Structure 1
Amino acid sequence: MDNSFVKVKKPASGNSKLKFIICTGYGNSGSSAGTDFFKEFSSVQVPFDNFECTFLHETDGIADLAYALEHEGHRLKADLAVKRFLNLVRNLNKNYGYAHYFKNNFLPCMTDYIEELVTCKWKGGWHRGAEVKKETLKDKARKDLSFIYFDEKYRRAHYALYESDLWYPQYIPYENQYYTNAKERFLPITKKYIQKLFSFLESSECEYSVIDQLLPANSNDLYARFFDWIKTIIIDRDPRDLYFANKVFWGARYIPTHNIDIFIQWFKETRREQIKQQSSDVLHIKLENLIYDYEKTTQELMRFTGISPHAHTQKFKFFNPEKSKVNTRLWLKYKHNFSNDIKKIEQELAPFCFDYSKYNLKETDTRTTIDFMFYELQHEADTLRIHTHISLKLRFLYLKRKLIRSALDAPIVKTMRWFLNEKKTPTLCLRFFIKFGVYTTLFPFYYLYEIIKAIINFIIM
C-alpha cells in the first residue's frame, strides 16, 4: 500500500480513558447552557471555548463512512466515501478550532486513521472517482488535450466507419482509489483513533470531558458506540421562545420561522425520536428546567453523569439561572402582534411548551422599540431572500447604493484613507504618490466596470 499519508505526532500525556459528557441540541436550543453549567465542576474539563466539534456527524463524516465500509462494502461507494471523508477533514482542518485545540494533529490523525482502515490503495479511476477533487487549470488543460488527441487519432482510423453505435470518449484521470471491506475492523479502529485524537487536548487530571455538539440529538446510538464511556444530554427549549428568538434576533436560515406552519411541522419532525431515545446513556432536559428548577435539575444531572456534588466548587460562576431568565418567555413581548402564531404553537406543540403556571410569574409585556426594529429588518431580509419579485423602487435603491459604495470602496479612496491615518515618512509619501498616480489612471475603468455590473444585477434580480 502506498504510504503517502502524513504521520501524527506523539500524543500528549494525560487520561488515557476519557469519560465524555456531550451537551447537544437541535440548533439554538440551549446546549451551551449545559456546557457552561459543567464548567463549574472541579472534576470536569471543558476543552473547547465557543467551538462545536462536529466531525463525527458532519455530512461525509464518520457515520457516512461507516455505512459505506462497515455495512455495505460496495466497491465504488467505498472509494467515494473515503475520498469524501478525506475532503471533509481537509476542509474542517482549515477551521481555527480543529487546528488550534488538537494542536495541528486533526488532519494527520484522521489520515492515519484512513491508512489503517483501508486495505487497498492504487492509481485508478472511474466515472465519479474524481468528483471530490477540485479541477485545476492544469487538469482542465490536460482534459482538453486528451479529447483533442483522441479525436484526431480516432478520426483518422480507417475502422471508424464501421462503428455500429455512436459513442463518445470519456476522460477519467488517474486518481488514488481505495477499497476495504471493514465489517469487523471498522469499530475498533475508529474507537482507537477517536481516543488518540482527543489525547492531543490539553493534559488534565479531570475525570470528565464535556464537549458541545460532538454527538447529534438524533440517532445518538449510531455515534455513541465509538466511545467506551459517554453520556449525552439533549437540551431543548420552549418552541415559543425558539420561534420568536429566531424570528426577531437570530435569523438563522436553518430554522424556518418565516412561516408558522412550516416551523411547527419542522419542530415536530426534528423531535420525533425523543421518546425512543430514553436510555441510561441519554438524558433529555428542558432549558427552562435548568433555569426555574435549578436545584432539582442539578441533582438529576449529577446522578446521570456520576459527578460528585462536592465537585461543584464554582456554583453560579458560569451559569446563573437568575440571569438566564431574561432569555425565557420571549413570546410575551410580541403577544399583541403575533397572538395567532402563539396560539397555534401552544395548540400543536403543547407537549413541548414549558408549563410556567406553577411558578407564579408575573406576566408582563416587555416590548421595546429596538425589538421591533430588529424584527422589521429581519422581515425585510426574509422577504428579499424568499420572494423572487423585487419592486422597481428597491431595484433603483440598490443601483443608487451600489454606485455610491463602489465609489467609496475604490482603490484610490482606500489609498487616501490609508495615507491620512499613517505617519508621514518620506518612504510612505513616495509609496502614496506612486499608488495615487496608478489608481487615478485606472479609476475610470474600475468605475465603468462597477456600473456595468450594477446595471446587469438591476436587470436580472
Structure 2
Amino acid sequence: MHQLVVPIGYMGSGSSVITDLVSEFRGYEARNDTFEYVFLHCPNGVFDLEDKLLIGNNALRSDEALHSFLNTMRQLYDKKWWWVGDYQQRVGVEFWDCTKTYIKKLVQYTPTYYWYMQENTNIQMFFKLAWKRIVSLLTFHKVNLKKPLLYSPMWISFIQPDEFYEISRVYIQQILKLMGIMEQSIILDQLLLPHNLYRVDHYFGDELRAIVVSRDPRDVFIINKYIWSKQNMPVPYPTDVKKFCGFYKGLRESEKYTQSNKVLRIHFEDLVYDYENSVNQILKFLNLDSSFHTLKKTYFLPERSINNTQLFQNERYKEETKIITDNLSDYLYPFPYARVPVESQTF
C-alpha cells in the first residue's frame, strides 16, 4: 500500500496548496483534484457511528446509528449532482457493496420487535396504515395485515472498541484500494478535519500523512468578507468582525489536539515566505528526497500566492484588523516583512 496524503484546513486556510504542491511530487496523484471526501466525518459518517456505538450505546441508539449511516452512505453513492456525492464515479461502483458488507459485520442482533422510530409516518406509511385498517374492517377483524414499518428489522450492536476499529480499518482500506492506493500514492482533500485527527491512530496505519494548514485570521476574515463574497463564493465565517473573532476562536479551541506522528502542521504563509524549507519539511514528512519534486512550481507558485497574504495591511481594513489582532493574537502569523498586496490579484 502506498501513501495517503490528506490536506486539511480550517475553512479558507489555504489547504488546497498541499494538493497543488504534493501533486508536483513523482508518484502522487489527486485524481479528483480538490474534491472533498466526507464519508468519515460527515453527519452520520464513520466517526458519528463510532461515537454512537462506543459512547452511551443502547439497543435503540445502535439501530438508529447503523441505519442512519447506511442511508447517508447511499446518498453519497447515488446523488450525482450533490457536490460531495457521486461516489459511484468518484470512488467506484464497489463502494456500495463494501459499505453493506461493513454494516453486516457490525450488526450483531436482528430482533423481530420494533420501536417508535420504525413507526414514524410518511405518505407511503399513511396509505399502508389506511389499507390495513380497511382490510380489518371489511373482514370483521379476522384479517390483520402486518403492521407497516419504515424499515425492518432492527439492527442492534454492542460491539467492543477493538472490534469496531478493526472492522472499520478494513472498510477504509477497501475504499482506498478502489481509489488506487495499491498503484500509487493518492491525495484526498479534506478526508479528515482538524477536529477529528485525534482518532486517526484507530483507523489508519503508516500509510496516512495528514497535513494541516493554518492561516493568519486577519487574512481569512478579509478574503471571506471582501474577496470571496464579491465573487459570489460561499463565505463560511461571520462578516461582522466581532462575531468572526468569537466564531474563529471557538472553532480552533474545539479541536482536540493530537501528537500523532501521522500529522504535520504547517502555516500557509510558510509555504509562501519560506518556500524551500517548507517543501523540504513536507518531503521529509513523506519520507522523500528532493529528487521526487519533479514538477517544481508547476501547480503551486509562491510568487502568485503571496498576493493572498497580508491583505490586512491595506489601510481600509485597519479598524477590523485591530479587533482581530487584539482578540486572536494566538493565531497571528509573524510575517518576515510587510507588504501591501495588489487586491485585484488575490484569489
Partner of residue 99 from structure 1, selected from 55, 64, 88 = 88
| Equivalence map 1:3-82=2 (5 Å) | 17-82=1-66
Structure 2 distance, partners of 1:275, 1:81, is 23
User: Is the partner of 1:271 in helix, strand or coil?
Assistant: helix
Structure 1 distance, partners of 2:321, 2:135, is 68
Task: Tell me if 1:219 matches 2:196.
Answer: yes
The superposition leaves residues 333-361 of structure 1 with CA deviations (integer Å, 9 ceiling, x where unpaired) of: 4x32x3221111111112222222x23x4
The superposition leaves residues 153-203 of structure 1 with CA deviations (integer Å, 9 ceiling, x where unpaired) of: 9xx99xxxxxxxxxxxx9855623101221142111111111111111247
User: Is the partner of 2:155 in helix, strand or coil?
Assistant: strand
Partner of residue 159 from structure 2, selected from 178, 182, 185 = 182
The superposition leaves residues 289-321 of structure 1 with CA deviations (integer Å, 9 ceiling, x where unpaired) of: 111110111111122221222111110011111
Task: Tell me if 1:314 matches 2:295.
Answer: yes
Task: Tell me if 1:294 matches 2:271.
Answer: no
Q: Is the 8 A contact 2:228 2:235 kept in 1?
A: no
Q: Structure 1 residues 262 and 298, CA, compared in 2 at 3 Å: closer, same or farther?
A: same
Q: Is the 8 A contact 2:125 2:149 kept in 1?
A: no
1:283 Cα deviation (Å)?
1.8
Match of 2:98 in 1: 109
The superposition leaves residues 135-166 of structure 1 with CA deviations (integer Å, 9 ceiling, x where unpaired) of: 3x43221234456788x79xx99xxxxxxxxx
Q: Is the 8 A contact 1:28 1:242 kept in 2?
A: yes
User: Is the partner of 1:283 in helix, strand or coil?
Assistant: strand
User: Is the partner of 1:49 in helix, strand or coil?
Assistant: coil
1:232 Cα deviation (Å)?
1.5
Q: Is the 8 A contact 2:66 2:155 kept in 1?
A: yes
Match of 2:126 in 1: 140
1:210 Cα deviation (Å)?
2.1
| Equivalence map 1:260-339=2 (5 Å) | 260-272=241-253, 276-333=257-314, 335-336=315-316, 338-339=317-318
Partner of residue 331 from structure 2, selected from 347, 352, 370 = 352
Q: Which amino acid aligns with 2:65?
A: A
Structure 2 distance, partners of 1:276, 1:103, is 33
Q: Structure 1 residues 173 and 63, CA, compared in 2 at 3 Å: closer, same or farther?
A: closer
Structure 1 distance, partners of 2:177, 2:53, is 25
User: Is the partner of 1:343 in helix, strand or coil?
Assistant: helix
User: Is the partner of 1:28 in helix, strand or coil?
Assistant: coil
User: Is the partner of 1:199 in helix, strand or coil?
Assistant: helix
Q: Structure 1 residues 101 and 202, CA, compared in 2 at 3 Å: closer, same or farther?
A: farther
Larger radius of gyration: 1
| Equivalence map 1:422-437=2 (5 Å) | none
User: Is the partner of 2:191 in helix, strand or coil?
Assistant: coil
Structure 2 distance, partners of 1:355, 1:59, is 36
Q: Which stretch shifts more, 192-201 or 324-333? A: 324-333
Q: Structure 1 residues 189 and 320, CA, compared in 2 at 3 Å: closer, same or farther?
A: same
Match of 1:88 in 2: 72
Structure 1 distance, partners of 2:70, 2:256, is 35
> Number of matched residues?
330
Structure 1 distance, partners of 2:188, 2:150, is 41
Structure 1 distance, partners of 2:226, 2:119, is 44
| Equivalence map 1:318-397=2 (5 Å) | 318-333=299-314, 335-336=315-316, 338-356=317-335, 358-359=336-337, 361-363=338-340, 366=342
Q: Which stretch shifts more, 100-109 or 319-328? A: 100-109
Q: Is the 8 A contact 2:201 2:260 kept in 1?
A: no
**Which residues of structure 1 form unaligned runs of 5+?**
1-16, 158-169, 372-461
CA RMSD of aligned residues (A): 2.9
Q: Structure 1 residues 222 and 56, CA, compared in 2 at 3 Å: closer, same or farther?
A: same
Match of 2:213 in 1: 235
Structure 1 distance, partners of 2:308, 2:209, is 27
Q: Structure 1 residues 149 and 260, CA, compared in 2 at 3 Å: closer, same or farther?
A: farther
Q: Is the 8 A contact 1:46 1:210 kept in 2?
A: yes
Match of 2:118 in 1: 129
Q: Which stretch shifts more, 266-275 or 20-29? A: 266-275
Q: Which amino acid aligns with 2:326?
A: Q
1:257 Cα deviation (Å)?
2.6
Structure 2 distance, partners of 1:307, 1:258, is 41
**Identity percentage over the alignment?**
27
Q: Is the 8 A contact 2:224 2:239 kept in 1?
A: no
Task: Tell me if 1:209 matches 2:186.
Answer: yes
Structure 1 distance, partners of 2:64, 2:235, is 27
Q: Is the 8 A contact 1:125 1:173 kept in 2?
A: no
1:330 Cα deviation (Å)?
2.3
Q: Is the 8 A contact 2:3 2:181 kept in 1?
A: no
Structure 1 distance, partners of 2:313, 2:98, is 50
Q: Structure 1 residues 274 and 197, CA, compared in 2 at 3 Å: closer, same or farther?
A: closer
Q: Is the 8 A contact 2:307 2:343 kept in 1?
A: no
Match of 1:195 in 2: 173
* Larger RCO, structures 1/2 (Cα 8 Å, 6+ apart): 2
